[in-house]
């Protein structure tokens, strides 16, 4: 009999961040930060970030703004929820139909038409990408842009571990500018305007990319789906010049790593506007990103492969071992939780 795989670490349900830190009496930049380096792990607060980076380092953020990407409707006589992940270049949408109790994706079939609020009929065409069953390509009738429709009819996506319905402002980063993400690129949530100013005063440059996140897979932890992104010319130039003088490029979130590594597949970042299907991991390590500020991921999450692509498995394992060890400070997971800074 083959041995069962050993769980890398365990996250008790009591360690899920059910409400925003502001409701726990904390400022955004007062959540916990685990600094993970070859010298060990330090338990700090996110506001300490300027002291952990060096003058001349470059911090890259994702300025995508979160959309109200969940739509309530009726299906087969019951209340249902639709998560709208992205819009493809041909105007079709990529969507996930959720079970009425929000416990996971529901079963659908090609040709089914969903009647949405606002008089929109959405016909499911085929799985997207081919070979999976959670996300489907769908054609809206009449034709309507995803962003405009969601501003009128949507609400923020909310998973069962979150208590209460929070306004979209709670799911926006302080620098969010370009609407497009189905869910919050949450690693940047602790970066308040004040903290960004202190970083720049310390000599740390800050540069933007845009990557519009699709809906995550909270239940199945599948690999990332194709996502639209932009790496501007100015950011590409800053990344390359930072690396050329031996300073570090630190990504805020896995979305930034994915965008920069797609644009820098040759080891030098070039301005890029398009879609990425890049999957980072042990077989495709990071080539331009030197460090990563990340939210906390569950032990089965495919995001851990991306963390390893930047920092290596030993460092990632050391970080998670330190924050889940008996007697460690209580770290919280998910979009309202704490963060980890990996500096290999």
What's the whole-number mean pLDDT along residues 318-342? Answer: 96
The widest CA-to-CA distance across the chain, in whole angstroms, is 63
Tens digits of per-residue pLDDT, 258-315?
A: 999 999 999 999 999 999 999 999 889 999 999 999 999 988 777 899 999 999 999 9
Q: Give pLDDT, residue 138.
A: 97
Q: Give pLDDT, residue 59.
A: 98
What are the DSSP calls for 58-126, one per residue? EEEEE-EEEP--EEEEEETTEEEEEEEEEE-TTS-EEEEEEPTTSSSBPP--TT-EEEETTTEEEEEEE
Is omega for the bond preceding 142 within 30 degrees of 0, making it cis? yes
Kindly calculate the radius of gyration of the chain based on its CA atoms and give it in whole angstroms.
20
d(CA 61, CA 302): 21
**Is the per-residue pLDDT at 58 higher than 50?**
yes
What are the DSSP calls for 169-229, one per residue? GGGS-TT--EEEESS--GGGTT--HHHHHHHHHTT-EEEEEEE------TTT-PPPPPEEE
d(CA 342, CA 258): 16
d(CA 120, CA 123): 10
H or E, element range at 251: strand 249-252
What's the whole-number mean pLDDT along residues 172-181? Answer: 98
H or E, element range at 211: strand 205-211
Q: Give pLDDT, residue 218.
A: 55
Q: Give pLDDT, residue 36.
A: 98
Tens digits of per-residue pLDDT, 60-99?
A: 999 999 999 999 999 988 899 999 999 999 999 999 999 8
DSSP code, position 172: S
d(CA 231, CA 261): 10
Tens digits of per-residue pLDDT, 33-55?
A: 999 999 999 999 999 999 999 99
Pick from 188, 225, 227: nearest CA to 302: 225
Place of tokens 């070979």: 131
């Amino acid at each position: 009999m083959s041995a069962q795989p050993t769980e890398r670490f365990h996250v008790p349900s009591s360690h899920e961040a059910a409400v925003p830190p502001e409701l726990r009496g904390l400022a955004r930049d007062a959540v916990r930060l685990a600094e993970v380096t070859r010298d060990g792990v330090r338990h700090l607060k996110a506001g300490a970030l300027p002291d952990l980076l060096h003058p001349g380092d470059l911090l890259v953020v994702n300025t995508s703004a979160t959309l109200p990407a969940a739509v309530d409707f009726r299906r087969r006589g019951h209340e249902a929820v639709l998560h709208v992940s992205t819009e493809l270049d041909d105007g079709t949408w990529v969507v996930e139909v959720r079970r009425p109790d929000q416990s996971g994706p529901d079963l659908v079939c090609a040709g089914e038409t969903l009647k949405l609020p606002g008089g929109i009929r959405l016909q499911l065409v085929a799985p997207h990408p081919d070979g999976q069953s959670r996300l489907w390509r769908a054609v809206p009738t009449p034709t309507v842009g995803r962003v405009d429709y969601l501003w009128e009819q949507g609400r923020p996506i909310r998973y069962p571990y979150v208590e209460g319905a929070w306004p979209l402002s709670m799911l926006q980063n302080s620098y969010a500018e370009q609407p497009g993400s189905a869910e919050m690129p949450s690693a940047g949530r602790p970066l308040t305007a004040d903290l960004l100013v202190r970083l720049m005063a310390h000599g740390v440059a800050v540069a933007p990319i845009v990557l519009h996140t699709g809906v995550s897979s909270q239940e199945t932890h599948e690999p990332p789906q194709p996502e639209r992104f932009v790496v501007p010319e100015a950011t590409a130039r800053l990344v390359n010049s930072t690396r050329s003088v031996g300073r570090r490029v630190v990504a805020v979130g896995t979305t930034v790593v994915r965008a920069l590594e797609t644009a820098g597949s040759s080891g030098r970042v070039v301005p890029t506007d398009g879609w990425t299907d890049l999957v980072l991991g042990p077989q495709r390590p990071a080539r331009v990103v030197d460090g990563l500020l990340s939210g906390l991921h569950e032990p089965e999450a495919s995001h851990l492969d991306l963390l390893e692509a930047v920092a290596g498995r030993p460092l990632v394992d050391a970080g998670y071992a330190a924050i889940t060890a008996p007697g460690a400070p209580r770290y919280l997971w998910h979009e309202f939780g704490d963060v980890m800074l990996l500096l290999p």
